[in-house]
Amino acid sequence: MKPASFDYYSPASADEAVALLQKFEDDGVDAKIVAGGQSLMPMLAMRVARPEALIDLRRAVGLDHIGENNGVIAVGAMASKSAAEESPLIRAKQPLFHAATRLVGHRQIRNRGSVGGSFAHADPASEYPAVALVLGMEMKVLGPSGPRLIPADEFFVTYMTTSMESTEILTEVRMPALPAGTGWAIQEFARRNGDLALAGVALTLPVAGGKCGDVRIAAFGVNATAVRLTIAEEALRGQPADQTSFARAAAAGAQALEEPMTCLHASAEYRRHLVQTLTARCLAEAAGRSGH
């Protein structure tokens, strides 16, 4: 349980980090970025990951901001999850992201773990990718030719894989503030507090005149990436925001899932069942928060 040898770099800026990535790419050196390290360190310890060079972003300035500009909340990739959890801005304006943050690991992990790390790591059981799909978040990445924005639905490709190039780093994630009249919920099922979820659901539910608006639902821990439950979303649009609609939509959404993952702790069938139950519970919880 000790990492294999690697060289260590701690550049002073994101630009320097990108230049290092480019140099290692040219030289054929296997380099890896470390942010908070709370997912990478276990992989190094178990030698699932054996990079030749580790590039630590901890000294790179200007990557840990949390702020708002024109209704868009921007979180620097190196802001810690505890900083996001304790941010009055995020708590007030984007409660779904706030609630998701509190579900990540334990306090000790959130103190060290970065917000950006969970996006770049792209674990299918992670809460943030599902929230990113629900909120239509954007990822700001920096590469040798400059910055670009990647929408969430183009960012997560498959297990532990994003659409970032090998010479790009994630510098910021952006999300809209939650509109008034929109309910939200995130629930997951894990064996123990702080474990990765066997399955989870995040959603936003706008309600007007007692009817569901443009509902967005995503499940995590089920397929290779977080997935939108579009069948459930369509089943709800224009329907009364009541238990009957919620139960029908949850069943349809779970049924339409691609074959879920199977592991020692949960069969595909069990995960599908969890998605149905959690979707129905989240819809009821969100309806209570929609202000109608």
* Helices of type H across the chain: 14-27, 40-45, 81-86, 88-93, 95-102, 107-112, 115-121, 127-135, 152-155, 230-236, 243-255, 268-289
Region 232-291 residues binding another protein, contact defined as CB under 8 A? none
Q: Is 29 a binder of another protein (CB under 8 A)?
A: no
54 scored as a contact of another protein (CB under 8 A): yes
Complex with another protein: residue 37 or 136, whichever CB lies closer: 37
2 binds another protein, rule: CB under 8 A:
yes
Q: Which among 89-97, 102-110, 222-230, 275-283 is the span making contact with another protein, rule CB under 8 A?
A: 102-110
In contact, 171 and 21? CB cutoff 8 Å:
no
Q: Which amino acid is at 97?
A: F
CB nearer another protein, residue 109 or residue 251? 109
Please provide the distance, in angstroms rounded to a whole number, between the alpha carbons at the two ends of the chain.
53
37 is an interface residue for another protein by CB under 8 A: yes
Query: Is 56 a residue that touches another protein (CB under 8 A)?
Result: yes
Among 10, 13, 223, 277, binds another protein (CB under 8 A): 10
Alpha-carbon span 128 to 104, nearest angstrom? 9
| Residue with Cβ nearer another protein (105 or 129) | 105
Q: How far is the CB of 51 from another protein (least distance, A)?
A: 11
Q: Are 132 and 138 in contact (CB under 8 A)?
A: no
Stretch that binds another protein, among 44-52, 136-144, 149-157, 160-168 (CB under 8 A): 44-52
Single out the residue of 148, 129, 123, 150 nearest to residue 139, CA to CA. Answer: 150
106 in contact with another protein (CB under 8 A): yes
Q: Could you tell me the two tokens for 194?
A: 């702080």
CA pair distance 53, 213, nearest whole angstrom: 49
Which parts of this chain interact with another protein (CB under 8 A)? 1-8, 10, 34, 37-38, 41-42, 44-46, 54, 56, 58, 82, 106-109, 111-112, 192-194
